[in-house]
Amino acid sequence: MSRTALRICPLCEATCGLTLTVEGTRVTGARGDRDDVFSRGFICPKGASFGAVDGDPDRLRAPLVRTDGELREASWEEAFDAVAAGLRPVVERYGPDAVGVVLGNPNVHTVAGALYPPVLLAALRTRSLFTASTVDQMPKHVSSGLLFGDANAIPVPDLDHTDHLLLIGANPLESNGSLCTAPDFPGRLKALKARGGRLTVVDPRRTRTARLADRHLAIRPGTDALLLAAMAHTLFAEDLTDLGDLARHVQGLDELRAALGDFTPEAVAPACDLDAGVIRTLARDLAAAPTAAVYARIGSCTVPHGTLASWLVDVLNILTGNLDRPGGALFPQAATDRTPRPAGPGRGFALGRWHSRVSGHPEAKGELPLSALAEEIDTVTEEGTPVRALIAVAANPVLSAPDGDRLDKALGSLDFMVSVDPYLNETSRHAHVVLPPPPPAQSPHHDFAFNTLAVRNQVRYTRPAVPLEPGRMAESEILARLILAATGMHGADPGAVDTTVVDQTLGKAVRDEHSPVHGRDPRDLAARLTGDTGPERRLDLMLRLGPYGDGFGARPDGLTLEKLLAHPHGIDLGPLRPRLPQPLKTRSGRIEMLPEPIAGDLPRLRAALRDRPAGLVLVGRRHLRSNNSWMHNVPALTGGSNRCTVHIHPEDAARLGVRDGAAVRVKGAGGEVVAPAEVTDGVRPGVVSLPHGWGHDRPGTRLSHAATDPGVNVNQLLDGSQLDPLSGNAVLNGIPVELVALP
Contacts with Mo ion, residue ranges (CB under 5 A): 136
692 touches, from ligand SF4, ligand MGD, Mo ion, none (C-beta below 5 to 8 Å by class)? ligand MGD
Residue of 305, 573, 733, 737 that binds ligand MGD (CB under 6 A): 733
* 139 lines the binding site for ligand MGD (CB under 6 A): no
Cα separations (Å) of 154 from 117, 322, 332?
22, 14, 8
Binding residues with ligand SF4: total (CB under 6 A): 12
Span of 75-83, 118-126, 189-197, 291-299 interacting with ligand MGD by CB under 6 A? 291-299
Judge whether 583 and 331 are in contact, CB under 8 Å.
yes
404 touches, from ligand SF4, ligand MGD, Mo ion, none (C-beta below 5 to 8 Å by class)? none
Residue of 47, 169, 321, 535 that binds ligand MGD (CB under 6 A): 169
The widest CA-to-CA distance across the chain, in whole angstroms, is: 77
* 442 lines the binding site for ligand MGD (CB under 6 A): no
Which H or E run includes 503?
helix 495-511
Give the C-alpha separation, 301 to 527, whole Å: 45
CB 111, min distance to ligand MGD, A: 10
Q: Which is nearer to Mo ion, 250 or 398 (CB)?
A: 398
Judge whether 466 and 7 are in contact, CB under 8 Å.
no
Q: Which is nearer to ligand SF4, 186 or 369 (CB)?
A: 186
Q: Which is nearer to ligand SF4, 188 or 649 (CB)?
A: 188
619 touches, from Mo ion, ligand SF4, ligand MGD, none (C-beta below 5 to 8 Å by class)? ligand MGD
Span of 4-12, 365-373, 462-470, 595-603 interacting with ligand SF4 by CB under 6 A? 4-12
Backbone CA torsion sign across 629, 631, 635, 639 = negative
* 49 lines the binding site for ligand MGD (CB under 6 A): no
**Exposed/middle/buried for residue 219 (C-beta within 10 Å: 0-12, 13-18, 19+):** buried
* 47 lines the binding site for ligand MGD (CB under 6 A): no
CB 109, min distance to ligand MGD, A: 7
CB 306, min distance to ligand MGD, A: 10
Q: How far apart are the first and last CA of the chain?
A: 57
Q: What is the 3-state secondary structure (H, E, C) of 521-534?
A: CHHHHHHHCCCCCH
14 touches, from ligand SF4, ligand MGD, Mo ion, none (C-beta below 5 to 8 Å by class)? ligand SF4
Radius of gyration of the chain (CA): 25
Residue of 6, 7, 16, 359 that binds ligand SF4 (CB under 6 A): 16
* Residue whose CB is nearest to ligand SF4 in the complex, by number: 47
Q: Which of residues 43-102 bind ligand SF4 (CB under 6 A)?
A: 43-44, 46-47
Residue of 36, 163, 203, 724 that binds ligand MGD (CB under 6 A): 203
Q: Which is nearer to ligand SF4, 34 or 341 (CB)?
A: 34
* Pairing mode, strands 646-648 and 687-689: antiparallel
The DSSP result for 533-565, as a single string, is SHHHHHHHHHHHHSTTB-GGGTSTTSB-HHHHH
The DSSP result for 619-679, as a single string, is E----TT--TTSSTT-GGGSBTTB---EEE-HHHHHHHTPPTTSEEEEEETTEEEEEEEEE
Q: Which is nearer to ligand MGD, 203 or 601 (CB)?
A: 203
CB 335, min distance to ligand MGD, A: 22
Judge whether 216 and 727 are in contact, CB under 8 Å.
no
* 407 lines the binding site for ligand MGD (CB under 6 A): no
Residue of 6, 9, 420, 449 that binds ligand SF4 (CB under 6 A): 9
Beta bridge partners of residue 668, listed in sequence order? 671
Q: Which of residues 324-383 bind ligand SF4 (CB under 6 A)?
A: none
* 377 lines the binding site for ligand MGD (CB under 6 A): no
* 176 lines the binding site for ligand SF4 (CB under 6 A): yes
Give the C-alpha separation, 529 to 506, whole Å: 11
Backbone angles phi, psi at 36, to 5 degrees: -60, 130
468 C-beta neighbours (distance < 10 Å), count: 14
CB 274, min distance to ligand MGD, A: 11
3-state helix, strand, coil in the chain (%, to 5): 35, 20, 45
Give the C-alpha separation, 476 to 165, whole Å: 39
Q: Which is nearer to Mo ion, 106 or 438 (CB)?
A: 106
CB 701, min distance to ligand SF4, A: 24
Nearest CA-CA partner of 132 in 526, 715, 734: 715
Span of 100-108, 379-387, 541-549, 720-728 interacting with ligand MGD by CB under 6 A? 100-108
Beta bridge partners of residue 72, listed in sequence order? 65
* 183 lines the binding site for ligand MGD (CB under 6 A): no
Judge whether 393 and 39 are in contact, CB under 8 Å.
no
- Cα dihedral 115, 120, 126, 132 in deg (nearest 10): -40
* 212 lines the binding site for ligand MGD (CB under 6 A): no
Q: Which is nearer to ligand MGD, 393 or 726 (CB)?
A: 393
Q: Which is nearer to ligand MGD, 273 or 572 (CB)?
A: 273
Residue of 400, 442, 457, 586 that binds ligand MGD (CB under 6 A): 400
* 299 lines the binding site for ligand MGD (CB under 6 A): yes
* 189 lines the binding site for ligand SF4 (CB under 6 A): no
Q: Residue 255 carries which side chain, given as an amino acid letter?
A: E
* 626 lines the binding site for ligand SF4 (CB under 6 A): no
Q: Which is nearer to Mo ion, 297 or 456 (CB)?
A: 297
Judge whether 246 and 328 are in contact, CB under 8 Å.
no
CB 517, min distance to Mo ion, A: 36
Contacts of 412 (CB under 8 A, 6+ apart): 430
Give the C-alpha separation, 607 to 615, whole Å: 19
Backbone angles phi, psi at 343, to 5 degrees: -65, 155
117 C-beta neighbours (distance < 10 Å), count: 22
Backbone CA torsion sign across 491, 118, 102, 474 = positive
Nearest CA-CA partner of 332 in 38, 36, 573, 146: 573
Q: Which residues contribute to the site for ligand SF4 (CB under 6 A)?
A: 9, 11-12, 14-16, 43-44, 46-47, 176, 183
Q: Which residues contribute to the site for ligand MGD (CB under 6 A)?
A: 12-13, 104-106, 110, 132, 135-136, 168-172, 174-176, 178, 202-205, 207, 219, 221-222, 224, 297-300, 303, 393-397, 400, 420-423, 425, 437, 475, 619-624, 626-630, 692-693, 714-715, 732-734
